[in-house]
């Protein structure tokens, strides 16, 4: 009997001024991954010269391919550039944040799960914080209901669509939206759906992709046996411009999937949510006005950068 070779996995890491995280992540992948059938594509999203120079230390190393973009393509765009540079017939693509570390053989465990569960299109490992505590690995689809009623009430209405995020799961579970920091995607599914929506620059890529997966008849899942550490925020900042970018992506998502009445209600909800914080910081007032104007895509960070 001929033993089947392990499926090939293309791991995509996007780097932006965080080369130290990227290098540590690569070392972690190499240490914990048992099978030899993988590659690592590192996409540098127009980092500063010092950070790019630091990345050169991994150029040409075993299983690692380094790609430099002349502009910051954002999260979705950077990942899709990585996919273009990856092996075209990969069985699986792992879109992984660079500020992460493997705790065990994540690729082996996730690929084994997908090999057995043929209706699952994307899965994710269990997330742990840098301090070792467990973090949630999935979320819910954005909607007016979840914002107004909360997850507890929505769970009473539709229990399967709102599993407990803080529960310690020991067995795989179907979830609405896997964490965007570790999306392990079946190759044919990624190609069928055309990848991530690159209109999203920094946020909501996973919500958009998981909704398209659901509509195409596939499932999303958490596989708790696979475990990784995510140093949340390690590869980005939370400036006011970045906060605005969240709402730009969020309302792009709403424009794609929600009707005009719900979009109007959501705009009012988020406007009031930020306006009530104006006494804490005046920037919340500016953010509220930005949302009331519809969080226009023309003001995205993607249009406020220069090539190096």
For residue 246, give its domain range. Answer: 240-303
With cut-offs at 50, 70 and 90, classify the pLDDT of residue 221. Answer: very high
Q: How many domains does the chain have?
A: 2
Q: Is residue 112 part of a domain?
A: yes
d(CA 98, CA 234) in angstroms, rounded, equals 9
Does the pLDDT at position 31 exceed 70?
yes
Q: Is residue 262 part of a domain?
A: yes
CATH number at 185 reads: 3.90.550.10
Q: What is the pLDDT of residues 50-90, one digit of tens each?
A: 999 999 988 878 899 999 999 999 999 999 999 999 999 99
d(CA 223, CA 210) in angstroms, rounded, equals 16
Q: What is the pLDDT of residues 91-145, one digit of tens each?
A: 999 999 999 999 999 999 999 999 999 999 999 999 999 999 999 999 999 999 9
Which of 178, 212, 230 is a domain's end point? 230
Give yes or no: residues 165 and 292 share one domain: no
Q: What distance lies between CA 143 and its chain's CA centroid? A: 19
Q: What is the pLDDT of residues 148-181, one digit of tens each?
A: 888 889 999 888 889 999 899 999 999 999 999 9
Residue with tokens 């490992």: 125
pTM beyond 0.85: yes
d(CA 70, CA 266) in angstroms, rounded, equals 36
Give yes or no: residues 159 and 292 share one domain: no
Q: Is residue 83 part of a domain?
A: yes
Give yes or no: residues 202 and 287 share one domain: no
Give yes or no: residues 218 and 288 share one domain: no
Q: Helix 240-257 vs helix 260-275: angle between axes, to the nearest 10 degrees?
A: 160
With cut-offs at 50, 70 and 90, classify the pLDDT of residue 6. Answer: confident
Confidence (pLDDT) at 239: 81
Q: Is residue 114 part of a domain?
A: yes
63, exposed or middle or buried, with CB in 10 Å at 0-12, 13-18, 19+? middle
Which of 197, 230, 263 is a domain's end point? 230
Q: Is residue 271 part of a domain?
A: yes
Which helix (H) or strand (E) segment holds residue 182: the answer is strand 182-186
d(CA 147, CA 268) in angstroms, rounded, equals 12
Give yes or no: residues 181 and 140 share one domain: yes
Confidence (pLDDT) at 240: 84
Give yes or no: residues 82 and 183 share one domain: yes
Give yes or no: residues 252 and 218 share one domain: no
pLDDT (average), residues 20-41:
96
Q: Is residue 235 part of a domain?
A: no
Give yes or no: residues 135 and 264 share one domain: no
Give yes or no: residues 294 and 209 share one domain: no
Confidence (pLDDT) at 238: 59
Give yes or no: residues 181 and 288 share one domain: no
d(CA 221, CA 7) in angstroms, rounded, equals 19
Q: Is residue 141 part of a domain?
A: yes
Does the pLDDT at position 282 exceed 60?
yes
Q: Is residue 86 part of a domain?
A: yes
Q: What are phi and psi of 54, to 5 degrees?
A: -65, -35
Give yes or no: residues 165 and 183 share one domain: yes
Q: 3-class SS at 214?
A: helix
Confidence (pLDDT) at 302: 84
d(CA 211, CA 217) in angstroms, rounded, equals 10
Give yes or no: residues 206 and 87 share one domain: yes
Q: What is the mean pLDDT of the chain?
A: 93
What percentage of the chain reaches a pLDDT higher than 70? 96
Confidence (pLDDT) at 241: 86
Which of 230, 255, 271 is a domain's end point? 230
Torsion of CA 138, 93, 118, 169, to 10 degrees: -30
């Amino acid at each position: 009997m001929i033993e089947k070779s392990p499926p090939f996995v293309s791991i995509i890491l996007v780097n932006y001024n965080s080369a130290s995280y990227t290098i540590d992540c690569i070392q972690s992948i190499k240490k914990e991954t048992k099978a030899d059938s993988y590659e690592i594509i590192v996409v540098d999203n127009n980092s500063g010269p010092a950070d790019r120079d630091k990345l050169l230390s991994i150029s040409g190393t075993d299983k690692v391919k380094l790609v430099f973009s002349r502009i910051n393509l954002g999260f979705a765009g950077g990942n899709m550039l990585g996919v273009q540079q990856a092996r075209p017939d990969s069985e699986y693509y792992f879109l992984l944040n660079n500020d992460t570390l493997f705790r065990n053989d994540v690729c082996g465990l996730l690929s084994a799960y997908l090999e057995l569960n043929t209706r699952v299109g994307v899965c994710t490992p269990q997330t742990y914080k840098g301090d070792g505590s467990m973090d949630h690995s999935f979320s819910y689809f954005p909607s007016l209901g979840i914002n107004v009623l909360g997850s507890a009430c929505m769970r009473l209405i539709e229990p399967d669509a709102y599993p407990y995020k803080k529960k310690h799961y020991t067995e795989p579970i179907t979830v609405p939206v896997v964490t965007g920091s570790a999306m392990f995607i079946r190759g044919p599914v990624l190609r069928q759906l055309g990848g991530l929506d690159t209109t999203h620059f920094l946020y909501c890529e996973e919500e958009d992709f998981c909704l398209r997966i659901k509509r195409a008849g596939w499932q999303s899942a958490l596989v708790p046996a696979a475990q990784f550490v995510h140093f949340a925020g390690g590869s980005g900042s939370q400036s006011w411009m970045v906060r605005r970018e969240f709402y730009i992506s969020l309302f792009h998502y709403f424009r794609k999937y929600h009707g005009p009445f719900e979009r109007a209600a959501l705009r009012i909800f988020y406007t009031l949510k930020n306006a009530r914080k104006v006494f804490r910081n005046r920037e919340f007032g500016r953010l509220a006005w930005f949302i009331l104007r519809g969080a226009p895509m023309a003001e995205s960070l993607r249009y406020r950068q220069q090539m190096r």
